[in-house]
Structure 1
Amino acid sequence: MRIYLDNNNTELISVICNRCGKEMKVENGILKEGCFEVKHAFGYFSSKDGQVYHFDLCEQCFDKMLAEFRVPAEVKEARELL
């Protein structure tokens, strides 16, 4: 969950893991630790058709989620970090 100073989403003031409630480190509007951000809109043929989900997970909760996968996620190294 992301909290901004105003309604224009211009300055990030807080990021909270939706799973465990941990508040992640934010300094001067910049997230300073690993975070898995999800923004997903379900489409046709889903029981959630038209619903948009937005949530954040800290690295520890992301790792726990991946550990539950029956088929491992594909992982590749990034060539550039922006």
Structure 2
Amino acid sequence: MRHYRTQKIEIKKLDEIICNCCGKKISVINEVPQEDIVEVEKHWGYFSKKDGQKDAFDLCEDCYDRIVSGFSIPVTCDS
């Protein structure tokens, strides 16, 4: 979840990021997050029950690690 402050009409500045899973607040300085996060944005298509819906959320690294550790097929990782 991202919180923005509006300075002028149609100008938004990133103020804060909150992990949608655990609620952790990620500090943002000069619109740069001070920790890395996972940003997900999904536009659902014709063959889903959510056709036309757009979902978006942010996860902190700890929540990402916890979620993917439960996957049946591991995440592909290139180092």
TM-score by length of 2: 0.88
Name the structure with the higher strand share. 2
- Post-superposition Cα deviations, 1:26-45, rounded to whole Å, max 9, x if no partner, equal 11221110100001101011
For 1:16, the equivalent position in structure 2 comes to: 18
Asked whether 1:4 is paired with 2:4, we answer: yes
For residues 1-82 of structure 1, what are the structure 2 equivalents within 5 Å? 1-6=1-6, 8=10, 10-77=12-79
Q: Which runs of 5+ in 1 are unaligned?
A: 78-82
RMSD (Å), alpha carbons? 1.4
- Counting aligned pairs with the same residue, the percent is 42
Opposite residue 32 of structure 2, the aligned amino acid is: I
Q: Which runs of 5+ in 2 are unaligned?
A: none
Opposite residue 13 of structure 1, the aligned amino acid is: D
Opposite residue 18 of structure 1, the aligned amino acid is: N
Q: CA deviation at 1:68?
A: 1.0
